[in-house]
């Protein structure tokens, strides 16, 4: 039976560290603020944004929510970002994705000042990650690295498989694993020998968006399995991309959904916002 990786516990530890550092900055007269922008009424986005605001409270940051109507124009959103880019109280800007279809997500991401881009989605920050010289790491992949590290297993030299190639998770995830000297394979919908590749993996990160995609036969005995997926079933229950029942019988370590990667995404957002404030104040 696999060891359960407790995302709630690891995220609490990260947030406690952020809270302590934020308290020290406060003594120096520096307070930290995160602007959270949500457009429309996506229920999942609402849940995540609420968790982000709550995390800000926990670590002692100010949060500023901008809840905008579904029908806002792209220009209106760009104008808001311009205001936030120039607002000294705001250290980090987070525009919750997905945005309504009539708004070009890339145009929005490109407009956020790279110094305040606490998601690390701006091409400038993406490029810095590529060359291994970054200020911010994208929250979900960075959270996954923390979860893998919490097992005590040394990543160097291990064979890691990332399933999914999105700009938000799959691509940066594979880069972070590569920086830590894993041998990385990126699989996606056109991969023909998925079973064979996964069977050889010491680490599997599943970011597909399909319930129960990773089955027991795909997993090597003792492997680390990280489940980034959040799928809502018809009965309202959440489940990941991994068939937890079957895979937990073979894996050495496994993350649950909920309570795995999700809470880490939020904790790493707090860490990035702290980093943004420190960079602005010229504190290492």
Q: Which residues bind ligand L34 (CB under 6 A)?
A: 47-48, 51, 94-97, 119, 139-140, 230, 238, 257-259, 262-263, 265-266
Smaller CB distance to ligand L34: residue 30 or 259?
Answer: 259
Q: How far is the CB of 27 from ligand L34 (least distance, A)?
A: 30
Q: How far is the CB of 221 from ligand L34 (least distance, A)?
A: 26
Smaller CB distance to ligand L34: residue 99 or 182?
Answer: 99
Q: How far is the CB of 268 from ligand L34 (least distance, A)?
A: 8
Smaller CB distance to ligand L34: residue 45 or 191?
Answer: 45
DSSP string for residues in 91-156: SEEEEPSPPPTTS-HHHHHHHS-GGG-TT--SHHHHHHHHTT--S---HHHHHHHHHHHTTT---T
Smaller CB distance to ligand L34: residue 95 or 276?
Answer: 95
Residue least distant from ligand L34 (Cβ) = 262
Helices assigned H by DSSP within 28-138: 43-59, 74-85, 105-111, 123-130
HSE-CB at 250 with a 13 A cutoff on CA atoms is 21
Integer Cα distance of 147 and 23 in angstroms: 25
Q: Which 8-state DSSP code applies to residue 38? A: E
HSE-CB at 251 with a 13 A cutoff on CA atoms is 30
Active site residues: 52, 96, 119
Q: How far is the CB of 192 from ligand L34 (least distance, A)?
A: 29
Neighbours of 165 (CB within 10 A): 18
């Amino acid at each position: 039976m696999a060891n359960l990786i407790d995302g709630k516990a690891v995220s609490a530890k990260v947030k406690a560290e952020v809270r302590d550092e934020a308290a020290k900055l406060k003594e120096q007269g520096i307070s930290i603020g995160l602007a959270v922008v949500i457009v429309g009424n996506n229920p999942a986005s609402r849940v995540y944004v609420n968790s982000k605001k709550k995390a800000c409270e926990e670590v002692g940051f100010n949060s500023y929510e901008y809840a905008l109507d579904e029908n806002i124009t792209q220009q209106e959103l760009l104008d808001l970002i311009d205001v936030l880019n120039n607002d000294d109280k705001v250290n980090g800007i987070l525009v919750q994705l997905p945005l309504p279809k009539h708004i070009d997500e890339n145009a929005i991401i490109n407009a956020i000042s790279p110094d305040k881009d606490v998601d690390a989605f701006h091409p400038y920050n993406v490029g810095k990650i590529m060359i291994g010289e970054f200020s911010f790491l994208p929250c979900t992949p960075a959270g996954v690295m923390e979860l893998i590290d919490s097992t005590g297993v040394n990543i160097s030299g291990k064979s890691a498989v990332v399933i999914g190639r999105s700009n938000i998770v799959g691509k940066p995830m594979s880069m972070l694993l590569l920086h830590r000297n894993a041998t990385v394979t990126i699989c996606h919908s056109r991969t023909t020998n998925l079973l064979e590749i996964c069977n050889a993996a010491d680490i599997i990160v599943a970011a597909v968006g399909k319930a129960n995609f990773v089955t027991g036969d795909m997993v090597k005995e003792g492997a680390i399995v990280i489940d980034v997926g959040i799928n809502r079933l018809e009965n309202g229950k959440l489940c990941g991309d991994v068939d937890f029942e079957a895979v937990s019988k073979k894996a050495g370590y496994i993350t649950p959904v909920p309570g795995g990667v999700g809470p880490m995404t939020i904790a790493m957002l707090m860490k990035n916002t702290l980093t943004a404030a420190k960079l602005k104040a010229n504190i290492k």
